[in-house]
Amino acid sequence: MTRATRSDGSNLSSEALNALRSSVKGKVVVKGQSPEDEYRPLLERWNRMHIKEANIIVLPETEEDVSSTIKFVGEHNLDVAISSGRHTYSGPSSSYGLIIDLRNLRKVSVDENKMIAVAQGGCIAGDVEAAAEAVGLRPVMGAVNATGCGGITTGGGIGNLSAQHGLVADNLLAARVALADGRIVVASDEENQDLFWGIRGGGSNFGLVTEFTYKLHKADPQVFSGFFMFPPDKLDAYLELMNSMHQDYVMKSNGKFTCNGFLAIMGGNPIPGFLIWYDGPEEEGQKYIKPLLDLGPIYPGSGAEMKPHTLTTDWKQFEKMFPPQFNRLVGTSTQMNYPLSVDILKKTVEKFKDIVAAHPESLSVSKLLFDIRDYSKIASVPLDATAYANRREGCLIAADLIWDKEELDKEMLQVAKDFISQVRAWVKEDNQQKGIAEVGAHVAATTLYALVTDGDEKLVSVFGPNLGRMKELKRKYDPDMMWDKWYPVDPNHEATN
Ligand SMILES: Cc1cc2nc3c(=O)[nH]c(=O)nc-3n(C[C@H](O)[C@H](O)[C@H](O)COP(=O)(O)OP(=O)(O)OC[C@H]3O[C@@H](n4cnc5c(N)ncnc54)[C@H](O)[C@@H]3O)c2cc1C
């Protein structure tokens, strides 16, 4: 079966739908048959640009439900998507066919002595964080508690604890995976090792994870964290400070300090800021923020304080940056070597400013992000140890273009593409001038973060030297490409992309 011949399920007979209903305990919601107020909210995505009117949505209550639904998908050659936290940038959890929506599979159990958490496949990061924090432990998750474990773990996953403990995927001990034929298997260092390799960075290419087992870490109850924002005339000094924040503070903190730059354009002016996070007491944390206070004046409301870790990832603190009408998004990313070229940073900000100037109201909450963290723990894992291929030191630069009007969708996708191509070209030129070898993606780590892209990158840019093994595994676990939504690897396509 090829992707082109998949059905959207619109002509399924009522007998077939009834058979599906009777094979699962969970709800089966059908477009045009189920009440609109039940159907429509299930389509919602954080990025509304990717809402698709699925014909069938199955809400499994059990692992067996997942298995039966996958068999149904196979029998009827349906187009299928998996959705869990629905926080994807590029839309792979949407389909016009059948969506397996895991929102009702959100149980977590924590074993305090073994320091592990077992989380069902529909959990969001906050479910695992809260259960672990209750016994003084922490999982590695992303910066925001609302992202789904499904997407963030299978795609890699970077968060506050990554500098100390690696990727979210590096902290996965085992998983139960529903394969394209509906079988459920365990993937771990002991069982189906190749599948375990693939689901750590290979996304949903190999199956649906019904259960994650995570390593947890001992932690103090509170961390020192907060936002610092500066007036536009501090922009140059802010950009110049980045290298020193990385070299003199982040890299000397044993992974305990991260300093994420962000920049928005307000009233035509760049407003730069840092989101800082220090895993230690306030007295120590104050030393790390001294350069930020010296850079001041800081905007009112800026500052850091001790708070529970779960509060630092609480979506509520980010909510005011994302008013609800701004719900269409495209993300792009690239990585720059240290020391960062301040000239490129300035040109990047100028270009971003020009983009926002074209639609000042619609793009007012768009942001540039500069991920200044210690990547050595992530980079210390051999590149071929998991499918995840972006294991290198560097500053991840991402642009989140966020807007409010559907008619801007096409333009913004193109603008984002042009923007990141330009920044990548500047970085490449700078590397050449500095004599940093331009090594092909086949022999080196990749330079983009696959969870923050428009979904349209070349496969070799996402999987780098691991693409060959990805194809082998796809041939073994999903030769007919049932799972074809997040950077699907075509096992029979010889070309590198
Ligand atoms: C506001 C915001 C903040 C973010 N912050 C971070 C961050 O700090 N760090 C970071 O690394 N990323 C971050 N991201 C990116 C985020 O990790 C990805 O978008 C991720 O894919 C979201 O996963 P999800 O389960 O919520 O998404 P969904 O839209 O539900 O799914 C995304 C993809 O994951 C697959 N998937 C979902 N569940 C499963 C499962 N159980 N088994 C197999 N495949 C599954 C789906 O098939 C789909 O391909 C952020 C995104 C947003 C919108």
Consecutive 10-residue averages of pLDDT for the chain (497 residues): 79 98 98 98 96 98 98 98 95 98 98 98 98 97 96 98 98 98 98 98 98 97 95 97 98 97 95 97 97 92 94 85 88 93 97 96 95 96 96 94 96 96 93 66 72 92 94 97 96 68
SS3 content of the chain, % helix, strand, coil (to 5): 35, 20, 40
Same domain? For 162 and 235 the reply is no
Of 187, 215, 171, 182, residue with least CA distance to 63: 182
Same domain? For 115 and 84 the reply is no
Does residue 474 form part of some domain?
no
Torsion of Cα atoms, 143 then 149 then 153 then 156, to 10°: -30
Does residue 481 form part of some domain?
no
Assigned token pair, 479: 């030769």
Phi first, then psi, for residue 41 (nearest 5°) are -60, -25
Of 367, 365, 373, residue with least CA distance to 395: 373
CB-based burial label for 205 (10 Å; 0-12, 13-18, 19+): buried
**Ligand 1 pocket: which of 46, 48, 51, 93 to mutate (most atoms <8 Å of CB)?**
93
Q: Which atom of ligand 1 is nearest to the CA of 45?
A: 29
Residue 464 Cβ inside 6 Å of ligand 1? The answer reads: no
Same domain? For 312 and 358 the reply is yes
Does residue 286 form part of some domain?
yes
| Domain CATH code at residue 163 | 3.30.465.10
Does residue 460 form part of some domain?
no
Distance 357 CA to ligand 1 centre (A): 30
Same domain? For 206 and 260 the reply is no
Same domain? For 192 and 284 the reply is no
Residue 277 Cβ inside 6 Å of ligand 1? The answer reads: no
State the CB neighbour count (10 A cutoff) for residue 440. Answer: 10
Q: State how far the Cα of 138 lies from the Cα of 371, in Å rounded to an integer.
A: 21
* Preceding amide of 297 cis, omega within 30: yes
Distance 396 CA to ligand 1 centre (A): 18
> Atom 20 (ligand 1): residue with closest C-alpha?
151
Same domain? For 203 and 257 the reply is no
Residue 92 Cβ inside 6 Å of ligand 1? The answer reads: yes
Same domain? For 194 and 137 the reply is yes
Domain boundary among 80, 101, 122: 101
Does residue 30 form part of some domain?
yes
Does residue 487 form part of some domain?
no
Does residue 245 form part of some domain?
yes
CB-based burial label for 338 (10 Å; 0-12, 13-18, 19+): middle
Same domain? For 307 and 404 the reply is yes
Q: State how far the Cα of 134 lies from the Cα of 279, in Å rounded to an integer.
A: 18
The answer to whether 329 and 243 are in contact (CB under 8 A) is: no
pLDDT at 296: 86
Same domain? For 146 and 60 the reply is no
Q: Which atom of ligand 1 is nearest to the CA of 157?
A: 11
Same domain? For 255 and 208 the reply is no
Residue 159 Cβ inside 6 Å of ligand 1? The answer reads: yes
Q: State how far the Cα of 141 lies from the Cα of 129, in Å rounded to an integer.
A: 8
The answer to whether 281 and 222 are in contact (CB under 8 A) is: no
Sheet holding 27-30, edge to edge: 27-30, 56-59, 98-101, 80-83
Structural domain boundaries, residue 368: 222-434
Residue 205 Cβ inside 6 Å of ligand 1? The answer reads: no
Q: State how far the Cα of 319 lies from the Cα of 375, in Å rounded to an integer.
A: 27
Q: Which atom of ligand 1 is nearest to the CA of 449?
A: 11
Q: DSSP string spanning 191-249?
A: SSHHHHHHHTTSGGGS-EEEEEEEE-EE--SEEEEEEEE--GGGHHHHHHHHHHIIIII
pLDDT at 497: 55
Assigned token pair, 442: 């086949």
Length of the chain: 497
Domain boundary among 411, 434, 457: 434
Distance 427 CA to ligand 1 centre (A): 27
The angle formed by the CA atoms of residues 314, 319 and 323, to the nearest 5 degrees, is 165
> Atom 33 (ligand 1): residue with closest C-alpha?
151
Does residue 445 form part of some domain?
no
pLDDT at 68: 98
Same domain? For 271 and 390 the reply is yes
Of 142, 147, 168, residue with least CA distance to 156: 168
Residue 401 pairs in a beta bridge with 330
Same domain? For 147 and 282 the reply is no
Number of domains in the chain: 3
Enumerate helices (H) and strands (E) in the chain, giving the number of each: 16, 18
pLDDT at 321: 75
| Domain CATH code at residue 291 | 3.40.462.20
Domain boundary among 70, 101, 132: 101
Q: DSSP string spanning 327-343?
A: -EEEEEEEEEPSSP-HH
